[in-house]
Structure 1
Amino acid sequence: MDLSLQFEHPWDVSPDEAKRIQRRLASEVTETPLPDTVETIAGVDVSVRDDTAQAAIAVLRRFGLTVIDRAVHRCEVPFPYVPGLLSFREMPAVLPALEQLGATPDVFVSDSHGYAHPRRFGLACHLGVLLDAPTIGVAKSILVGEPQGELGTEKSSRTPLVDDGETVGTVLRTRTDVNPVYVSVGHRCTLDDAAALMLDCSPRYKVPEPTRQAHRLSRETDDE
């Protein structure tokens, strides 16, 4: 795909500078309905081993959830592990992987948080703002906030994830009687649209199929 970034900034920066970049770019996040024409969804997953980061991207058709494109990129990790600064550790591997794709997916889904973040700018937001593309964050644990209300045990049950009085995401049950995932807006989508699309992408497993396939691709490549 043609990787034309809307903003440029260095990745090898201090944690304090990384937080300043997040705060500056957080104002660029927008929430708008997803178009009805979404046909392709890219799952993004990154694994880090020792000093190497490996990004894996799997592009699926929205209907049928078949994989139609994939990409992997490995590079040295330029940033230490700091909670809330995941994008500075992983995005330098993600961006070159995106360049390998044959076409630009309609929506990106990352194995990370988006708006449900201390500075409202998790990796899903960072990716979406740089690409100016619809993005969704789907995480398996909470970074900030607390669920409000009782979450039903049935698939599709939802309850707000609230931080400091603000709804930052949704707690979503993608399988009956299985622990939920935590969905938040990355960029250019609404929380309701994000949750609905992730339910559509979770016919059998807890983790939505785009990020599940990206994770599998990452593991397969690691084992080679």
Structure 2
Amino acid sequence: MSPLRASLSHPWDLAPRDAMRLQETLRKRVELHDRLAEVSAVGGVDVGFEDQGRMARAAVVVLGYPGLAPLDYAVARAPVAFPYVPGLLSFREIPVVLQALEKLEKIPQLLLCDGQGYAHPRRLGLASHLGIVCDLPTIGVAKTLLIGGHEPVPDERGAWRPLIDRGEVVGAALRSRAGVAPIYVSAGHRVSLETALRYVLSCLTRYRLPETTRWAHRLASHPEKGASKDLVKLSGAHARSPR
């Protein structure tokens, strides 16, 4: 399969006000219905930071589906060119994510992103933005609540409650494991919320995070703990090293 490359190009080094205006334009392209092929490989995306936030480190991990065996992974590093502004993290993180995606030899049919999708003030979180740029189905899987509210989630694995913002269902608070805080799932692009929940649940094992973003988080935020060596042992995959 050919390398994954951006299908939509736009400037990333915008002033925050211009970035917000671009989000308002791009949100019209978000598809909240299912348009995805049969999934045999799922990807996880996460970004960590080094050198006191001056360097971004993106990790993408590809797992077979539904077995979740590691197939491929890649890491890229790049200087941070956009300031930290809540609601605009995609402008800070997607450029280095694209570098990591271009290194993959195995392209997933679906990406689970550590961040928000439709559950965003302007309905264009990182997962939705990345999905539009790459024309790939994406799902947002966030560890913390950004907007909206929900009723209490029963303390049992798989229980969920709608996440509502300004009268609109924008995602779901999902109990991925009993006894731990819920995670926040939202459609990114080319995936409905119901389908997003189904895939996230099927990618869960005994941890709070699905295996996709759990592995990506380890590679992006804790490289010193040997996640890359563990992936090679499990899969025999050869990493595309940071640039």
* Range of TM-score over shorter length: over 0.9
Paired position in structure 1 for 2:198: 196
Paired position in structure 1 for 2:135: 132
The structure 1 residue matched to 2:181, chosen from 171, 179, 182, is 179
Paired position in structure 2 for 1:218: 220
The 1:36–1:155 alpha-carbon spacing in structure 2 relative to 1, beyond 3 Å, is farther
Paired position in structure 1 for 2:229: none
Is 2:43–2:63's contact at 8 Å kept on the other side of the alignment?
yes
Is 2:3–2:107's contact at 8 Å kept on the other side of the alignment?
yes
Q: Say whether residues 1:101 and 2:101 are aligned partners.
A: no
User: Post-superposition shift, 1:218?
Assistant: 2.1
Q: What is the distance in 1 between the residues matched to 2:191 and 2:114?
A: 17
Paired position in structure 2 for 1:119: 122
Structure 1 SS opposite 2:178:
coil
Paired position in structure 1 for 2:144: 141
Paired position in structure 1 for 2:156: 154
TM-score, structure 1 as length reference: 0.95
Q: What is the distance in 1 between the residues matched to 2:37 and 2:136?
A: 15
- Write 1 or 2 for the structure with the bigger share of helix: 2
Is 2:58–2:75's contact at 8 Å kept on the other side of the alignment?
yes
Structure 1: gaps (5+ residues)? none
User: Post-superposition shift, 1:153?
Assistant: 0.7
Amino acid at match of 1:30: E
The 1:65–1:34 alpha-carbon spacing in structure 2 relative to 1, beyond 3 Å, is farther
The 1:170–1:75 alpha-carbon spacing in structure 2 relative to 1, beyond 3 Å, is same
Structure 2: gaps (5+ residues)? 227-243
Is 1:34–1:193's contact at 8 Å kept on the other side of the alignment?
no
Is 1:55–1:74's contact at 8 Å kept on the other side of the alignment?
yes
User: Post-superposition shift, 1:158?
Assistant: 0.6
RMSD: 1.5
The 1:207–1:34 alpha-carbon spacing in structure 2 relative to 1, beyond 3 Å, is farther
Q: What is the distance in 2 between the residues matched to 1:202 and 1:168?
A: 22
Structure 1 SS opposite 2:29:
coil
Paired position in structure 2 for 1:52: 55
